[in-house]
Amino acid sequence: MNNKIQNAFKGGKAFIPFVVAGDPSIDATADCIVAMAEAGADIVEIGIPFSDPVADGPVIQAANIRALEKGVSVRNVFELVKQIRVKSTVPLVLLTYLNPVYFFGYEDFFTECKSVGIDGIIIPDLPFEEQNEVADVAAKYSVDLISLITPASGDRVAMIAEKAKGFLYFVSSMGTTGVRDEIKTNINAVIESVRKVSDIPVAIGFGISRTEQAAELSKYADGIIVGSAIVELIQKHGESATTHVHDYVKTMKSVL
C-alpha cells in the first residue's frame, strides 16, 4: 500500500484532477500539474496517450489523439513525471490501458514508475479477476494498482473492496467519461457495501464538472475525480491553460 495515496485522503475530502500527458505539450502538462497541486489537488491522475481509450468519451479521446500526433510515448510520460518531481511531491497516479504496459514489459514499466516517483496506476481494461500478474509486479515497486467499481458491480463490490489498494475508483455512471448534467446512480448503496468490508477510500469519477455536483457527491465519497472538464479547459486555452486550470481546481477543492 502506498502511504502517499493513503495520506492524501486524511486531510478531508480529496480532489483528484486528470490530464492527458503531452496535451498540448509535455512542458505545458508539467506546468498544469504543478499548478493543480499548488491549487489544492490532493492526487493527480496522468493519462498515458493511447490510440483506443475505450473508457473515455470524446473530449479525452481527442486529447489522446492530439498527444499521439505529437509523438508522445510512454518514455515521454516518465520524463514528464521527472519534471514534475523537481517541483512537487503531489501523489501521481497513471491512467493507462494494459497494452502500453504489456509492451513496455511489466518489470521495466514498474521499475521506471518507482524510479521517477509514480504512486499508483489505473488500468480500466484490466478485469479485476485478471489483475494478479500486474498487481504483484506493481506491489513489488510500491505502486498501488487501483481498482474500479461501477453501479453494476453488484456482489463483486465487496470482493473488489477487500483486495483494493490505494483507493477505489467509483465509476458513477455507466458508459464513457464526459461531462454530465446529472448523475443518478444510487451511490450511497454502493459505497455502503464497500464500508462493510474495508476502510479503503472511495473516490467518485465520470461526469463530474460543477461545484454543486462535487459538493453533493462528496457527502458520500472520500474524494472527487474530474477529467473531461479539465481536459476541455486545456483544449480551449492550449499552452496558456495553466492559470485557468489552477483557478478551476482551487474552486472545486474549496467546496469539498
**Which residue in 23, 31, 42, 56 is the catalytic one?**
56
Is residue 247 annotated as part of the catalytic site, yes or no?
Answer: no
For residues 144 and 165, is the Cβ–Cβ distance under 8 A?
A: yes
Instruction: Count Cβ atoms within 10 A of the Cβ of residue 127 and give its class: 0-12 exposed, 13-18 middle, 19 or more buried.
Output: exposed
Sole residue written with cell 500478474: 133
**Which residue in 23, 31, 42, 45 is the catalytic one?**
45
First to last CA, the chain: 25
Beta bridge partners of 86: none
Task: Copy the grid coordinates of residue 44.
Answer: 493527480
Is residue 56 annotated as part of the catalytic site, yes or no?
Answer: yes
Which residues, 6+ apart, have CB-to-CB distance to 111 below 8 Å? Answer: 141
Instruction: Describe the strand order of the beta sheet including 168-171 as a list of residue ranges.
Output: 144-146, 120-122, 92-95, 44-47, 14-20, 223-226, 202-205, 168-171, 148-149
Q: Which helix (H) or strand (E) is 95 found in, with range?
A: strand 92-95
Sole residue written with cell 517541483: 87
Residues acting as catalytic residues: 45, 56
